[in-house]
Amino acid sequence: MDIFKKCYDFTDANIAREQGYYPYFIPFSGGDDTVMVYNGSAKIMIGSNNYLGLTHHPEVLKAAQSALMEYGTGRTGSRFLNGTLDIHEQFEKELAEFTGKQAALIFSTGFMTNLGTIATILGKDDVVIIDKLDHASILDGCHLSGARILRYRHNDPDDLKKILDDLPKDVGKLVIVDGVFSMEGDIAKLPEICEIVKSAGARLMVDDAHSMGVLGPEGNGTAAHFGLTDQVDLIMGTFSKSFGAIGGFIAGDADVIDYIKHHSRSMIFSASLPPSVVASTRAALKIIKSEPKRRQRLWEIGTYMRAGYQKLGFDTATSETPIIPVIIGDNMKTFAFWKMLFEEGVYANAVISPAVPGNSARLRTSYIATHTQKQLDFVLEKFQKIGKQLAVI
Ligand SMILES: Cc1ncc(COP(=O)(O)O)c(C=O)c1O
């Protein structure tokens, strides 16, 4: 048996390419936050996670440039050995303060943060209970840990309670939820979840990849949004979304973070976040805190677009944030919609089954505080035109 057989037999992507509706790995050649260029033609970007538009903020760019000149391109080693810089530690203090926790630890990606945290905290005798729609990096971290994995119905605290009630009291339990769900755009029901987790004697971790900069009084995440910072044991964030770059962090009690720091394989056996990225994300954090208007504008845009889609007759599922899925139905129709939209000058993300349940294939749309009113109305006009052509509305 040749282990490459599956690769040679895999034809789905080539068929889609030949038929001209392949929506993935589009090589953009430039652009800024709200507009990207493909083959010389501008596409309005409604498929990024650049919620505050900080990828091109002058202060953020300047910080990256000066760190590049001061520290070089990278540390060529792990945080554990030669890779720690003064700015890593300064930034960790700022992140701990921002999330209201005792300590924070930076990883080189959000994915590695989840792998490294979950697989370090859990062992084979423990049980981890996760929302069915939690991010892939959470699920992979759980598999890596060897713990028993149980999944509850999406954002259904009653189902979570049932599962916890059936577990023995003396077993170690960790509940992990996304703060904002990346494909649905809904918010975890933290008040109910916290109560259930506490009465079960479990611990709680919240993945705030899509909440940092977006939710909370200072953009400081889901727990802060609900006033429940003390009830959430571990807060995870990424720098690949509102912070406009790449990287991740975990925040919690100092002893817990120190344990993760000395045991987490995805941190210890991988090189540290490059100085230019540390500097740009630090500058982004300053702007998140000092320019609340960006967050307010993002929410105004989210509300405007959701109402706009709904008025046109589209189904936006359970969205309640600036992430708005527009449900198209089957996979082929979603590809067709995506392609027509792209040709009209708009880029959204095509998300098909099995990534989402059958017949709920969708265009995942998400917004940027810097989108102009003209761009938003252009997008709605194109959705209306194509929605009618394809009989989605
Ligand atoms: C909820 C969630 N967690 C973790 C990650 C991984 O983050 P990163 O892209 O920074 O590796 C993502 C990214 O898509 C995400 O959406």
* Domains defined along the chain, listed by start: 14-45+292-389 (3.90.1150.10), 56-290 (3.40.640.10)
Q: Which atom of ligand 1 is nearest to the CA of 134?
A: 1
Give residue 16's pLDDT.
87
pLDDT > 90? residue 276: yes
Give residue 355's pLDDT.
83
Distance 49 CA to ligand 1 centre (A): 10
Active site residues: 182, 210, 241
pLDDT > 90? residue 147: yes
- SS3 of 327, please? strand
- SS3 of 124, please? coil
Give residue 357's pLDDT.
82
Give residue 346's pLDDT.
98
Q: Name the token pair of 189.
A: 């029901």
Q: pLDDT tens digits, residue range 101-128?
A: 999 999 999 999 999 999 999 999 999 9
Q: pLDDT tens digits, residue range 88-108?
A: 999 999 999 999 999 999 999
Give residue 285's pLDDT.
98
Nearest to 113 by CA among 77, 149, 144, 83: 144
* Over residues 266-293, mean pLDDT: 98
Residues with CB under 6 A from ligand 1: 109-111, 114, 135, 137, 178, 182, 207, 209-210, 238, 240, 248
* Over residues 342-370, mean pLDDT: 94
CB atoms within 10 A of CB 151: 17
Q: Which atom of ligand 1 is nearest to the CA of 182?
A: 16
pLDDT > 90? residue 31: no
Q: In the sheet where 323-329 sits, what is the strand order?
A: 323-329, 361-366, 349-351
pLDDT grade for 55, boundaries at 50, 70 and 90: very high
Tell me which DSSP letter residue 171 carries.
S
pTM: 0.97
Contacts of 8 (CB under 8 A, 6+ apart): none
* Over residues 283-303, mean pLDDT: 98
Cis peptide before 274 (omega within 30 of 0): no
